[in-house]
Structure 1
Amino acid sequence: MIVSIKELQEDIFRKFTEKTNGGDFGIVNIEFPLITETLVVSLEHYRNQNTIYKFSFENIQSYMLIQENLPDEKKEGVLYSSDFKSIILKELINSKYMEYLHSWTDLKIFFEGIALKKIRHYCVYAQNILVNVITDQVPIIEIIEKD
């Protein structure tokens, strides 16, 4: 079932309580078939493997997988979008990763003006792993119930 970011967060809190955080989830699958260029990240809560939270990112410009190195959010000055935020999927604003891409890559060549302003940095949070994704598309969020 495709859901909004708000519905995702409500589902997590309903099933696992409001004390749940990204460390309670594990990534069970990451797919990036070059034919479709859609990055798919799937997570499960450690207490309930019957629900999969699946995020599909299209039109990927860059992605980075980080293991065991969580950022110092205060030192880095990480800000989150108030419109797109859950405990396992967030939109970051003015991140160091985005700064790097703007300054040191050819991102500006492919996206000019208004299109460049549509580029967003999303991050999937799981235990010990972060998946950073740069795209101009809002991710598709799915909740899949296994029986």
Structure 2
Amino acid sequence: MIGRIFAVLMLALAVPLAAQDTMPPAPYAYRQLDDPAQEAAAQELMETLRCLKCQSQSIADSDAPMAGDMRHQVRIRIAAGEEPEAIRLWLMQRYGDYVSYKPEVSASTWPLFAVPLLLALVAGMILLRRFRGRA
């Protein structure tokens, strides 16, 4: 009896996972734009956006379904005339700062930029005092 319940439970959990990968890819996930200039702009932007499912691959390099959806969004927005920076900001609002390889300084991220500079300054001061003490 417990074995049957376990089997039904495992089947119930496996069905939603299998359904996610059976969805067809978005039309522009693997198809390039007709205009070479627009495709170049899309490709340049996709190289700077991180796939949220992969191990830090860009969406241009990833084969994950989510990266395909993001490529599709980038391409249709570029084809509609949106600027790449506006698309980047939209994706950052939607998925957070992590999605961009070009982080922006904001109220929540400034320590990430300031702490390494402070550590380098402290290390420089320690080295300077040590070398002056020897002289």
- State the structure with more CA Rg: 2
**Structure number with higher strand proportion:** 1
Q: State the TM-score, normalized to the length of structure 2.
A: 0.22
Question: TM (normalized to structure 1)?
Answer: 0.21
Compare relative contact order (CA 8 Å, sep 6+) and give the higher one, 1 or 2: 1
The structure carrying a bigger helix percent of its residues is: 2
